[in-house]
Structure 1
Amino acid sequence: MSIVANTMIMNDLREKLCDLIPYTTLNLITDAVAEVLERYDVVPIITEDHTKDIMLDAFIDAMRVEGRSEKTITRYKYIIGKFLSYAGVSSRSVTQYHVRQYLASEKDRGISDGTLRGVYWVLSSYFGWLHRDGIIQRNPMSNIGRIKVQKKVREVFTDVDIEKLKSGCDNLRDKAIICFLKSTGCRISEVTQLNRDDIDFQNLECIVLGKGNKQRTVYIDPVTGMIIQEYLASRTDSNTALFVGKGAKRFLPGGVRAMLNKIANKTGVSHVHPHKFRSTEITELVNRGMPVEQVKVLAGHDKIDTTLSYVKVDQANIKNAYKRYA
């Protein structure tokens, strides 16, 4: 019999008997049953598509009511649906053993700890919601330990890197995008959604739509404002998008990444990607003395810990602060 089928039977057996007999006795019984089942070919009967779980549909509806973005909703639905298909049971019948087995199989498949932690949080959110609403009596995630991820310091650009990238641009659009990314620290999805009229050149600011459809104000420096105005003045199309690509169509995140890769290869600057501009700007603002609470608002973070995860503190600043306070 397959290991997966064997484990599923043991999980179901444990769930049925866990409240009836002592844990040590339960282990003896399941071990004996597992030994017997090894001589038989048992296949689990799945009579429904568990990705179409009515409880999952209710959870997705709740996310929409809360104003979660479609991108987030699609991700949650995919992860939860994939897990339910693997478990072969409805949401109401999921146990901690199903969850542990699934996370272990994903780990064996080679996914990173960071990705696995994301799966953990999605499942925790889902089953936590079901438990709080009284739909399930037990939360299968309650005894699942959090997945630890090694903390990595995010890379940032040097001033020389930024100048190299700007000098490697073939046109005003590319230079305007690089300057805007660096000046605002915006996410690439926020940048590509902007329209021409969103930029207030007089006050050098604009309103962007971030995660969870939350609006916030970001600011641009005078040089960036000037370059964007030059770029817009050079355009002859009528597209309302702030940045356009081929055929005067809105420039999408994939196009921006391809453009940055091309400039990186040309200039020799390593590890060039949109989010690195965000890390660079957040780090520089903190190192220049801007309170982290204000940087958090500017970056559109819900938690200050998220902001701090971006920050690479300048050792020279630490040394100067020590001399000042020691």
Structure 2
Amino acid sequence: MTKKYWECRDVEIPEETRLIINEYLLSLKLANKAENTIVTYRKVLERFYSTNPLPIELLTSANILLWLINFSKDKKERTVDIYVSAFSSFFNFCLAEDYVNHMVIKKRWRPRISKSLPKFLNEQEFARVKMAAEKLSLRDRSLILFLFSSGCRRSEVSNLTIQDVNISRRTAEVKGKGKKIRHVHFSEECALILSEYLSIRSGDKNEALFLNRFGTPLQTGGIYNITTKLGKMAGLTHLLNPHSCRHTFATNMLAKGADVKFIADELGHTNLNTTRVYARIPTEDMILAYQNKMG
């Protein structure tokens, strides 16, 4: 992504409209919204306004709804929901800044999406993955153990430096969404392998925690490739990605009796309802407890 990822440069959009869009996108950046969110919203607005030359103040609900209906024909509900969210956020900004005098986006336009349960590894799958991981290099094995025992997002892991990690205390200082800092924990096994991996490194504390073969920080795509390769090695019938590791961490912690607030803090969730979705998952321990009680 470019350094100024929050800027719209689409010359097909009228300059006056483009200036308002950029003012809005800059407000998201100043509010520490995630880079991916800002880029997504920018692309949504660029796609819409590159085909709708009407000034912002002249757009009506009917104009936008007609465009959404045509756009939605071959799109998934979640994609449509993202577009409605982007429009709603943008026009709320325009309303607050007096660029429009009434809200043109309607809440009823949002598709009703059933919340799917997070995909995680069951006990047998987790055991197979850990056994397969023993065949990996020190870097890859320590990375996998860190993902499973910290619950971090792959972008958070990619941004870690050696000085962010305290091996003896088994903690790491992570910069999460909105550049919020939190402290996460990782397992003793992870600490041992990670220590062994760092022992063959240069010792420069400013280096990325995980390096690629060129000696530069391991990017999110590289982390994704390592997890998917491991999933195949373990014979999983479904994809193993970094988010599966994160979900497995959460469900394992819940099954062990960890408090939802603690899990939320580890995952970097600001809304406890985001974490409570894991309570809907029938883990191995929960199923066993039910069978012992009910037969």
Instruction: Return the TM-score normalized by structure 2.
Output: 0.85
Moved more, 84-93 or 230-239: 230-239
Give the length in aligned residue pairs.
Answer: 277
1:128 aligns with 2:92: yes
**What aligned pairs does 1:71-82 form with structure 2 within 5 A after superposition?**
71-82=36-47
Q: Tell me how far 1:107 sits from its aligned partner.
A: 1.8
Tell me which residue corresponds to 1:16: none
Tell me which residue corresponds to 2:54: 89
Tell me which residue corresponds to 2:210: 243
Contact 1:283 1:313 in 2 (8 A): no
1:229 aligns with 2:198: no
Task: Please list every run of 5 or more consecutive structure 2 residues that lacks an aligned counterpart in the other structure.
Answer: 1-10
Instruction: Return the TM-score normalized by structure 1.
Output: 0.77
Tell me which residue corresponds to 1:296: 264
Tell me which residue corresponds to 2:224: 257
Q: Tell me how far 1:262 sits from its aligned partner.
A: 2.0
Distance 1:248 1:316, change over 3 A: closer
- Selected match of 1:210 from 163, 168, 176: 176
- Selected match of 1:181 from 141, 147, 153: 147
Task: Please list every run of 5 or more consecutive structure 1 residues that lacks an aligned counterpart in the other structure.
Answer: 1-46
Distance 1:150 1:63, change over 3 A: same
Structure with the larger helix share? 1
Distance 1:143 1:301 in 2: 25
- Selected match of 1:305 from 263, 273, 282: 273
Distance 1:82 1:188 in 2: 28
Distance 1:263 1:314 in 2: 23
**CA root-mean-square deviation:** 2.6
Q: Secondary structure at the match of 1:216?
A: strand
Q: Tell me how far 1:236 sits from its aligned partner.
A: 4.9
Distance 1:234 1:305 in 2: 42
Q: Secondary structure at the match of 2:184?
A: strand
Q: Which letter maps to 1:243?
A: F
Tell me which residue corresponds to 2:242: 274
Pair member with larger Rg = 1
Distance 1:156 1:69 in 2: 25
Distance 1:136 1:319 in 2: 58
Distance 1:158 1:194 in 2: 28
Q: Tell me how far 1:228 sits from its aligned partner.
A: 0.5
1:314 aligns with 2:280: no
1:54 aligns with 2:23: no
Distance 1:91 1:285 in 2: 48
Q: Tell me how far 1:121 sits from its aligned partner.
A: 1.0
1:161 aligns with 2:130: no
Q: Render the CA deviation track for 1:179-228: whole Å, top value 9, x for unaligned.
A: 00000110000001101111111211111011111111100111111110
Identity between Structure 1 and Structure 2 (%) = 23
Q: Secondary structure at the match of 1:247?
A: coil
Higher relative contact order at CA 8 Å, sep ≥6: structure 1 or structure 2?
2
Contact 1:86 1:102 in 2 (8 A): no
Tell me which residue corresponds to 1:283: 251
Tell me which residue corresponds to 1:22: none
Distance 2:128 2:272 in 1: 32
Q: Tell me how far 1:151 sits from its aligned partner.
A: 2.2
